[in-house]
Amino acid sequence: MRPYILTETHWSDISDQEFDLAILPWGATEAHNFHMPYGTDNYETEALVYEAARMAWEQGARVIVLPTIPMGVNTGQNDIYMTMNMNPSTQQAILEDIAESLDGYGVEKLLVVNGHGGNDFKQIIREVGSSYPDLLIATCNWFQSVDQSRIFENGGGHADEMETSLMMYAHPELVKPLDQAGEGRAKKFSVEALNESWAWTERKWTRCTDDTGVGDPRKATVEKGKQYFKEVTAKLARLFEDLAKTGNSELYI
C-alpha cells in the first residue's frame, strides 16, 4: 500500500492526516495506432504520476494522488470505433465537484496532471477557481516537460516513438510488436497557418491519418522509454514537492 495514492489508503490511516497537495491524473480513452491500447494515455500518466509522487513523498511532501479520470476530449475522433469523448463542459463539472470536495476538507492546492493533447484545462480552471478562492488549482502537461528531441528521432504526438518507448518501458505487456504498427504518417493542413502555432482548428482524425497514429513509432526502444520516464518523473516530482511545500501566500516573490 502506497500512502500517497488515495485508492490504496484506508480511512483509519488518513482520517487524521493533512495533505498539502492533491494530484489529479487526467487521460483519455482513444485508439493508438495498431500496436498500443486505447488506455495508453491513462497507463502512461498513472505510471509517471505514481513514481513522481513516491519521490516527492520521500522528500517530505504531503501529497495525495486522486483516482485517474480516464476519458478526455476526443470530439475529432468520434468516427473512430469505441473512442470515448468527454466534452469540456463535462470536464468542468467534474473538476467543480472535485474542487468542492477538496475545499471542504481544507486541502489548499490541486494539480491536474494532463496526459492527453486534446485536453485543455486553462479556461476551465479559471472558471472553477473563481468559486474557490482558497484553493489553488494548477495544471501541467507531462509530455511538454522534457525536450523530446534529445531522446527520440521521430516526433509526432500520438502513438509515436515517444509514447511507444514509454509504454514499452512502463507497460511492455500491452504493446504489440512494432512490425504490427502503422507508419503514423499524418497529413498536414492545406491552410499553411493552421500548421503553425498561432492558428488552430481541430483535426478530424480519419481525414489526416490512416492508422490513428501521428508520428512513426518504429524506432522506439525500451531504453529510450526508460530515459524519458526518469527525466519526466524528476520534473514532476520537483513540481509536486515545490507546490506542496509552498504556501499559497508565498507563491509570488
Is 201 contained in some domain? yes
The confidence score (pLDDT) of residue 46 equals 98
- Residue 66's domain comprises 6-250
Q: What is the CATH number of the domain that holds 189?
A: 3.40.50.10310
Question: Cell numbers 504531503 label which residue?
Answer: 62
Mean pLDDT of the chain: 97
pLDDT in tens, 49-94: 999 999 999 999 999 999 999 999 999 999 999 999 999 999 999 9
Angle between helix 40-58 and 161-170 (nearest 10): 60
Comparing C-alpha atoms, which of 240, 49, 12, 13 is closest to residue 3? 13
| DSSP-based three-state secondary structure for 8 | helix
CB count, 10 Å around CB of 169?
22
pLDDT in tens, 160-204: 999 999 999 999 999 999 999 999 999 999 999 999 999 999 999
Residue 6: exposed, middle, or buried by beta-carbon count in 10 A (0-12, 13-18, 19+)?
middle
Is 146 contained in some domain? yes
Q: What is the rounded distance in angstroms from the CA atom of residue 23 to the CA atom of residue 26?
A: 10
Is 1 contained in some domain? no
| Confidence tier at 130 by pLDDT (50, 70, 90) | very high
Provide the number of structural domains found in the chain.
1
